[in-house]
Structure 1
């Protein structure tokens, strides 16, 4: 059955299916939308007591529900300056060293940091011998993505690609999954050097939104697009730790890259650990 689930993804019309689901998720269907939301809440055991608006009838579209806000104070952010915090409610899929440009995807599978970052060798070299972490957002999770540390946006890269599922089963069976799926790479300059926050698309992920750019995917064509941003002045884009930087309309994965010697993961980090936005993720090395 697992082979069938994975194999079917190769012949599914991934982009057409995703566009269709995206349209349905953004449609205002009244009682139908409310019924779907109620089913989703029950199916995935979502705690609506955490949501700013807990009544399913508040949401006019499924997308509005999926990117719902949390009540103020539901995810307190560790304020200690040396602490890097989790950027999302998720599950730790993998983490560790970037060795010879390779990141671990799953047991017996790895992939290239250069490919993940859109083929830019110079950019990939900034993370040589650094560290990475892959965080999987399930359908039941809060789907806004926040900053793990203070940072200034340097570059955004849109990389077109496939739209395989990014669940653990697919990660264990589809080679180069995160370097072949559609994704948005965000490069930030921080006090400890560069930090990459990569938002990876997936099957039926209708779009990826960023607070400074709006909806980034899916544009048409197969080209890699790059946007550069100033580090100073009125047009510079600065974020504080814990601030929202983007969101997924339906679930996916966040990957962080850190430079060599910059951080040490928190002792609590372990595979398949459930993460909560704002809790300790790593510590900046002195």
Structure 2
């Protein structure tokens, strides 16, 4: 668990709530997201270096753990691999690990089919999971929201040993998912593009990971289906599968940064030190069997 670094004057300026919300939400979000997707795939070493230099004006990007830094494109930097051993997963069988780097947002119990994106901003698990998925198995269980900033490592991993049984992809909007937007836009996660990844742990318990895309980030790669989920896939896309995963095995990536919401049924409790605002690295203990 780490402490967020101090921000410079430019970052403090952009952090002003009204300006931040205006710049990241009162814009043609989907059009900008598609444009950014095309731009990020341009393979040009010079353009990539210039883009990363501009990126660093907005965020404390640290590439010290990157496996290589000769990036072919901005996307190559966004989805970078890390040096071996950079993320170690807790091997205890009763522990569900953090699937990605991230900052803990809202977390708590699922009660009457309702959870929270921020204080005073509830949303329905049924709406989040979509019309084809049964969210009732998580009633009385726990949820934890993990927010990935643009500077973080963007790959996500199996939080425990188990089998992915089904993926539902739901196309949607691309609202920013930062705390400012979460305190202003109701049901934000239910509006954005997302995937519902249903998994059954080795002990038989169901678990769900819900990667939610955001502005400039509307692409989610899932390795076990060899598919890139993006805004062009309209409606609910059902993808049944039977993909076994070892704890810590890489599952996919975001192409910039976003959010993963973890759902577990009753019988689990938060691991020691897990609380809103804590910054985590993939592999740290997130939940444990009660």
Same fold (TM over 0.5): yes
Counterpart of 1:117 in structure 2 is: 129
1:255 aligns with 2:261: yes
The more displaced of 42-51 and 274-283 is 42-51
What is the aligned length? 273
Counterpart of 1:131 in structure 2 is: 142
In 2, Cα distance between equivalents of 1:256 and 1:272: 16
**Aligned-residue CA RMSD in angstroms?**
1.7
Q: CA deviation at 1:174?
A: 0.5
Counterpart of 1:211 in structure 2 is: 223
In 1, Cα distance between equivalents of 2:63 and 2:81: 10
Q: Please give the residue correspondences for 1:222-241 in structure 2 after superposition, counting only pairs within 5 Å.
A: 223-229=235-241, 236-241=242-247
Q: Please give the residue correspondences for 1:13-162 in structure 2 after superposition, counting only pairs within 5 Å.
A: 13-41=28-56, 43-53=58-68, 55=69, 58-120=70-132, 123-162=134-173
Q: CA deviation at 1:39?
A: 3.7
In 2, Cα distance between equivalents of 1:43 and 1:179: 27
**Local SS of the residue matching 2:33:** helix
Cα pair 2:174 2:218 within 8 Å, conserved: no
Cα pair 1:131 1:260 within 8 Å, conserved: yes
Q: Could you tell me the TM-score, scaled by structure 2's length?
A: 0.89
1:104-134 C-alpha deviation (Å, 9 max, x unpaired): 11011010001110134x6111111111000
In 1, Cα distance between equivalents of 2:186 and 2:270: 26
In 1, Cα distance between equivalents of 2:156 and 2:240: 21
**Local SS of the residue matching 2:64:** helix
Structure 1 moving runs of 4+ over 4 Å? 7-11
Q: CA deviation at 1:38?
A: 3.5
Instruction: Flag structure 2 segments of 5+ consecutive residues without an equivalent.
Output: 1-15
In 1, Cα distance between equivalents of 2:53 and 2:27: 28
1:137-180 C-alpha deviation (Å, 9 max, x unpaired): 00111000111111211110011211100011101110001111
